[in-house]
């Protein structure tokens, strides 16, 4: 029987590329995100390869998270793989100049949203005594950089939760692991810089950044290992990057 994967943040970037590669490898996919037009377009594209179900909700809205996941039809109810990917940075300011709404967004989406979605799905995995959770962290969850403060804190929380989930879910045969990318060229910087496309583009100038498909390919590798193999923690940089701020730009 084909495995079922639920991908949060499937409307863009890493999540979209992950849905694409998993669909082509015959996973049934539950696509999640807020932008319904994008969910519909991607569902149409991927239905050539597999069965698709879409769920449109904001991960900050805990009622919506549980209602949507509990509404899954029987044919999509056994979730084998959860990709906790939805998230963004909002702003890049010093702690003294930080914007409170940006702070709320990062903590509420990257940390609490990940927790709500996990809490809605984990009981199913416990009942199944199987499942695989991939948490998308960041190099910002391993190192802190200037003005990265709250985004880095949110991704350090993802790193801690990844380790904690692996411990707590160990008795149930559930695999838990994280992937921590460096710079990936997605809409991430456009969101961080609130639609300033020039500033966003400058983040990826002068070096070859990771592409969303590079991370998706690794996610597919991770989920397709034999059941006794759990890739617990993986940092992935573009070759030109050595730390959040050390970049070999031409
Ligand atoms: P994108 O901006 O391209 O994609 C972000 C995705 O998250 C979108 O699908 C968006 O969907 C979803 N999302 C954002 N906010 C919410 C919300 N409140 N509720 C539901 N979904 C939401 O960025 P990336 O693909 O780069 O980011 C994916 C993950 O990778 C994030 O966790 C990010 O922190 C992480 N990451 C990114 C790196 C990079 O350099 N790009 C590096 C390291 C980690 P919608 O707006 O439709 O809801
Ligand atoms: C995204 C990578 O270095 O901008 O998580 O924080 S970074």
Q: What is the pLDDT of residues 119-162, one digit of tens each?
A: 999 999 999 999 999 999 999 999 999 999 999 999 999 999 99
Confidence of residue 23 (pLDDT cuts 50, 70, 90): very high
How far, CA to CA in Å, does 34 sit from each of 10, 64, 80, 113, 195? 9, 11, 22, 13, 17
| Ligand 1: nearest atom to the Cα of 88 | 34
In a domain, 129, yes or no: yes
In a domain, 242, yes or no: no
Question: Across all residues in the chain, what is the average pLDDT?
Answer: 98
Integer distance in angstroms from the first to the last C-alpha of the chain?
49
DSSP state of 112: I
Q: Do residues 14 and 31 make contact, with C-beta atoms less than 8 angstroms apart? A: no
In a domain, 25, yes or no: yes
Number of domains in the chain: 1
Q: Do residues 233 and 180 make contact, with C-beta atoms less than 8 angstroms apart? A: yes
What is the model's pLDDT at position 228? 98
Alpha helices in the chain (DSSP H): 13-24, 36-46, 62-70, 100-106, 114-128, 149-169, 188-192, 197-203, 212-223
For the segment 42-82, what is each residue's pLDDT rounded down to a tens digit? 999 999 999 999 999 999 999 999 999 999 999 999 999 99
In a domain, 249, yes or no: no
**Which pTM was predicted?**
0.99
Question: What domain range is 182 assigned to?
Answer: 4-236
Confidence of residue 1 (pLDDT cuts 50, 70, 90): confident
In a domain, 250, yes or no: no
- Ligand 2 pocket mutation, candidates 188, 203, 207, 215, criterion most atoms within 8 A of CB: 188
Cα 155 to ligand 2 centroid, rounded to whole Å: 9
Which CATH number goes with the domain that contains 100? 3.40.50.720
- Average pLDDT for residues 92-97, to the nearest whole number? 98
Cα 172 to ligand 1 centroid, rounded to whole Å: 29
In a domain, 241, yes or no: no
In a domain, 128, yes or no: yes
């Amino acid at each position: 029987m084909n495995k079922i994967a639920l991908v949060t943040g499937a409307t863009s970037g890493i999540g979209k590329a992950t849905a694409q590669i998993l669909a082509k490898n015959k996973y049934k996919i539950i696509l999640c995100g807020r932008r319904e037009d994008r969910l519909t377009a991607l569902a149409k594209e991927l239905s050539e390869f597999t069965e698709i179900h879409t769920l449109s909700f904001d991960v900050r809205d805990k009622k919506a998270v549980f209602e949507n996941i509990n509404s899954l039809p029987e044919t999509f109810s056994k979730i084998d793989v959860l990709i906790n990917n939805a998230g963004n940075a909002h702003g890049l300011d010093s702690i003294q100049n930080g914007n409170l709404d940006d702070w709320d967004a990062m903590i509420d989406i990257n940390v609490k949203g990940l927790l709500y979605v996990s809490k809605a799905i984990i009981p199913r995995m416990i009942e199944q005594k199987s499942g695989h959770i991939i948490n998308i962290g960041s190099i910002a969850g391993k190192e802190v950089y200037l003005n990265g403060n709250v985004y880095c804190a949110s991704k350090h929380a993802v790193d801690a939760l990844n380790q904690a989930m692996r411990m707590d879910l160990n008795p149930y045969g559930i695999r838990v692991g994280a992937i921590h990318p460096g710079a990936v060229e997605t809409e991430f910087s456009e969101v961080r810089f609130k639609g300033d496309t020039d500033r966003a583009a400058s983040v990826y100038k002068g070096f070859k950044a990771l592409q969303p498909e590079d991370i998706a390919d690794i996610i597919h590798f991770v989920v397709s290992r034999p059941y006794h193999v759990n890739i617990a923690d993986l940092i992935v940089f573009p070759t030109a990057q050595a730390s959040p701020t050390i970049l070999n730009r031409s």
